[in-house]
Structure 1
Amino acid sequence: MTAIPLIIAFVLGAAVVVGYVLVLVGMRQEDRRMRLGDLPPSKAAGLARRVTGCHVRG
């Protein structure tokens, strides 16, 4: 019996774990960017415009 299936399973498992961690890190970065309270009004309006596609005048 060879160890090839075990090695393949380990490599695929490691790839899944690395992908999961990268997605979590990316989601945290996006959450940090999406906080409107920390931004000046002009940047907050620009972010809202990019997210919704609506132009708000005020």
Structure 2
Amino acid sequence: MADFSDRAVQVALLLSFASGVLVGWQANRVRRRFLDWRKKRLQDKLAETQKKLDLA
């Protein structure tokens, strides 16, 4: 088994934490974009339905 120094462990922990933060940030951006897209799509469908009801 390899002998790890304290420095190597600290660097590994820092890298894993930083990658976790980065992945979480990107995932949140993607989620926000999806929610904005879904909201716009539903608002468009609602406006279309209201327009149909007004014409009926």
For this structure pair, what is the TM-score category when the shorter chain's length is used for normalisation? 0.5 to 0.7
Please, which runs of 5 or more residues in structure 1 have no aligned partner? Answer: 43-58
| Percentage of pairs with the same residue | 20
In structure 2, stretches of 5+ residues that fail to align are 51-56
TM-score normalised by the chain length of structure 1: 0.63
TM-score normalized by structure 2?
0.65
CA RMSD of aligned residues (A): 1.7
Bigger proportion of residues as helix:
2
Deviating runs (4+, > 4 A) in structure 1? none
Greater RCO (Cα-Cα under 8 Å, separation 6 or more): 1
Equivalent residue pairs, number: 41
